[in-house]
Structure 1
Amino acid sequence: MSDEQLRQNVIDELEFEPSLDAACIGVAAEHGVITLSGHVTSYPQKTAAERAVWRVRGVKGLAQNVEVRLPGHKRRADDEIAQRAVNILAWNTQVPHDAVKVRVSEGWVTLTGEVSWHHQRTVAEAAVRQLSGVVGVFNHIELAARVQPTDIKQSIAGALARHAKLEADRIGIAVEGTTVTITGEVDNWDERVAVERAVWSVGGVRNVVDRLHIA
């Protein structure tokens, strides 16, 4: 597929996405790498644009340069955003009570603290980024040390093998302490996400280095 055709496919997908106003988003394509520019009116729209790009077959990389420009009536004071973020995390039963701290500066939210599982970290970020007035999220939540499996590499290989969408023999796994490096080749972005999710599902993993290539 030519870069020009890929660019047009991405534009079509952005326009098709119902949660996104793509009128002010620019798209460039070079060697399968998509660059988005321009602006949107909310942070959820920015993440929706990113998800839409990765749905397009042939996309090998993404440079996300879209700016969030909040309309005047949607702007919020930092202390208001911080209080609402604290409240929404307190109400979320998947996030341990008082485990996550919130700091806000010019609409950018920084999350810190420590949780036991990766999904708790992602749930906290997902909850906060939906708040009105948020222009971006830095997720610095760390994972607490856990008792290590007797063979963490074998556990990951088993998780990959059980996944219906993945060919486990195409994935390389290297373990150093609590850091896992994954290499190899997958057919699309969904498979890449599935590999990462399988690795994060294994107890004891604290860091993942993703060096997978999309075929």
Structure 2
Amino acid sequence: MNDNELRQNVIDELDFEPSLDAANIGVAAERGVVTLTGHVASYFQKMSAERAAWRVKGVKAIAQEIEVRLPGDRQLADDEIARRAVNILAWDESVPTDAVKVRVASGWVTLSGSVPWNYQRTAAEYQVRKLSGVAGVINNIELVPQVSAVDVRQRIVSALKRNAEVEADRIRIDVRDNGLVKVEGVVDDWDERQAVERAVWSAPGVHRVEDHLRIM
């Protein structure tokens, strides 16, 4: 696939994404690296554009340069955004009660605190992304390790072997006692890479992941 074909495929995928108004998004492609420019009306749409681009076969990296330009009627004061963020987190059963703290400055929401599982950390960010008036989200929520490094590695390796999307023999896992997991090896495409990441993050005690996987 040449650069022009990849660029057009990304444009078509952006237009196909129902949660996104892609009219003001520009796309450039060079050797598998896709650059997204322009502007959208919400942070949620910005993330939707990035996810849509990753779905396109042949995309190896993305330079995300889309701006969030909030319409005048959707601009909210920071205290109102903070109040809405606290409320939406309280309603989400996957986020532990009072585990996440919220700070808002110029529309940017910073999440802090600690949770035991990565899906809880991800859920908190996902909920806040959807709020009107949010210009961006910084997720500083920490994960608290609860099991030994040996146990974590065994659970990850077993999960990779069970996953039909993953060639487990091509993946190397290194787990440190501080909850850091280093992942190395090769995968066929972005979907397989995401499948590996999901398997790693699903193990309890994983605090941080260094992804060195290469797409062949």
Answer with 78-87 or 7-16: which moved more.
7-16
Match of 2:184 in 1: 183
| Greater shift in the superposed pair: 180-189 or 133-142 | 180-189
CA distance in 1, matches of 2:14, 2:160: 31
- Using the alignment, how far apart are the partners of 1:199 and 1:173 within structure 2? 9
Q: 1:99 to 1:13 in 2, by over 3 A?
A: same
1:79 alignment partner in structure 2: 79
After TM superposition, give the deviation of residue 134 of structure 1 in Å. Answer: 0.5
Distance in 1 between residues matched to 2:78 and 2:67, nearest whole Å: 18
Equivalent pair of 1:29/1:35 in contact (CA under 8 Å): yes
**1:67-146 mapped onto 2 (5 Å cutoff):** 67-146=67-146
**What SS is found at the alignment partner of 2:89?**
helix
What is the CA-CA distance between 1:19 and the residue it aligns to? 1.5
Provide the identity percentage.
Answer: 65
TM-score, structure 1 length as denominator? 0.97
The 2-side partners of 1:36 and 1:189 are apart by 17
1:149 deviation in Å?
Answer: 5.7
1:45-87 Cα distance to aligned partner (Å, 9 max, x none):
1111011101110000001000000000011110000000001
In the aligned structure 2, how far is the partner of 1:150 from the partner of 1:52? 36
Q: Is the 8 A contact 2:117 2:205 kept in 1?
A: no
Give the gaps of 5 or more residues in structure 2: none
| Aligned residues of 1:149 and 1:203 also touching (Cα < 8 A) | no
Query: Which residue is 1:34 aligned to?
Result: 34
CA RMSD of aligned residues (A): 1.1
Given the alignment of the two structures, is residue 8 of structure 1 paired with residue 8 of structure 2, yes or no?
yes
The alpha-carbon deviation at position 176 of structure 1 amounts to 2.2
Deviations along 1:113-136, one digit per CA (max 9) or x if unpaired, are 000100000000001110010111
Q: CA deviation at 1:44?
A: 1.2
Quote the residue 1:213 is aligned against: 214
| Structure 1 spans left out of the alignment, 5+ residues | none
User: What does the per-residue CA deviation read over 1:165-184, in whole Å, with 9 as the maximum and x for residues that have no partner?
Assistant: 11100111112222111111
* Amino acid aligned to 1:26: G
What secondary structure, in the 3-state scheme, does the structure 1 residue paired with 2:57 have? coil
Q: Which letter does structure 1 place at the counterpart of 2:186? A: E
- Residues 116 and 204 of structure 2 are in contact (CA less than 8 Å); yes or no, is this contact kept in structure 1? no
- For the residue of structure 2 that corresponds to 1:58, the secondary structure is coil
